Amino acid sequence: MSIFKHSVLLPLLCATWYIFGYSSANPVVHRPSTGSSSYTLETVHQFPNFTWIENLAIRSTGQIVANDISNGVIYLVDPAEDPAAASILAEFPSGTSLSGIVELRPDVFYAQSVDGNVYNFTFVPGSAKLWEIDLRNQVRGALVTKVLDMPNMKVPNGLSALPSGRRGQNNPDLLLSADSVAGVVYIIDVINKRYEVVFDHPLLKPIATAKPPFGVNGVHVVLGDADTDTSMLFFTNTNSGYLGAVPIGKMDGIPRGTPWLITDEVPAADDFAVDPDGSFWVTQNIRNTLSHVLPNGIVEFVAGGVNSTDLLGPVAAAFGRTFDDHANGVLYIGTDGVQTDPVTGKVTRTAGKIAKIATKTGNGHGWGDW
């Protein structure tokens, strides 16, 4: 049986989906990757050397909350400023590698970490943790609290909210976390401080001989239609170059069907963003590439390229949330900025940045009249 699912077999995906207020209705099938497109890539903020912007979350104000995995720092960047400065929201102990971050409730974010060194991909077994970052009080500033230790996780990576949660859509308490080395997805209950494997499948597994062995990476949930009890979990697999999907229970995140591939044409797939139109914007880390995967599985080149320095190590993608962001389809991209010596292969520079593109057509994929 093919692991690629065609549109005639996807009645669930033909329902109206929305992710934090967005709607879409599209079947998903597989087609060969093709073509190229022209978009305007613009730098929002360039970080100094040895800064690796691993993941992004966007506040309702439009400000960007950015995790630096290399230094254990969470930054706040306001793209409305010119130039857009970066201020420190929180600092963690030396050796803390921050990975995924997500907003679960208004201005309450959760981030996960593991102790170790991202530059040589050595991480301390049993050191994974989940943190709450509360930004609701501007006078007080960020309040950081450790939620729980997660010793069974190997390397927590992508993180997504389960929009319904056990307490209902308006008061969610569940997260889904990708463990890239174990090749599984965990569900985390932030209220009862529990976590367990909820999704384990061959499509999530790393390739054992790969360096590093990284399987499932980005995870994002799209809330199902109001008259269904399922949502959709989308995921990438870095080593295999997969973008896939599986229906899950709205309230518990448990898979409700067989996962399938949307495409296997995104080598080094890392994080991604789900577009309101049902397509996907996928970062491809060591390929230095951002790609657009259409609902029918066709892959379009967007920015960067293997031999380009325009987008060194894209590892995170998130849509903006302001009116202008929505109007222009503004997508923010976080990079690790990794450059290596061509002879020794050693890392020589990792000046990560936050970039943006306008994904909407109409102004030649440019910024139009802001």
User: How do strand 314-319 and strand 41-46 relate by DSSP bridges?
Assistant: unpaired
CATH code where residue 157 lies: 2.120.10.30
pTM of model > 0.95: no
DSSP letters along 287-336, please? GTEEEEE-TTS-EEEEEE-TT-STTSSEEEEEE--SHHHHHHTEEEEEE-
Residue 110 domain-assigned (yes or no): yes
Q: Is residue 363 part of a domain?
A: no
CB 26 within 8 A of CB 13: yes
Separation in Å, CA 179 to CA 56, 159, 209, 299, 335: 18, 10, 17, 26, 20
Q: Domain for residue 190, yes or no? A: yes
Does 370 reside within a domain? no
CA atoms of 156 and 173, how far apart (whole Å): 18
Count up the domains in the chain and report the number.
1
Q: 368 lies in a domain?
A: no
CB 167 within 8 A of CB 252: no
365 in a domain, yes or no?
Answer: no
Q: Is 60 within the bounds of a domain?
A: yes
C-alpha 252/C-alpha 230 separation (Å) is 10
Is 367 inside a domain boundary? Answer: no
What are the pLDDT tens digits along the chain (370 aa)?
456 664 333 333 433 333 333 333 233 333 334 445 579 999 999 999 999 999 999 999 999 999 999 999 999 999 999 999 999 999 999 999 999 999 999 999 999 999 999 999 999 999 999 999 999 998 888 999 999 999 999 999 999 999 887 766 667 899 999 999 999 999 999 999 999 999 999 999 999 999 999 999 999 999 999 899 999 999 999 999 999 999 999 999 999 999 999 999 999 999 999 999 999 999 999 999 999 999 999 999 999 999 999 999 999 999 999 999 999 999 999 999 999 888 888 889 999 999 999 999 544 444 333 2
Separation of first and last alpha carbons in the chain: 50
Range of the domain at 331: 7-358
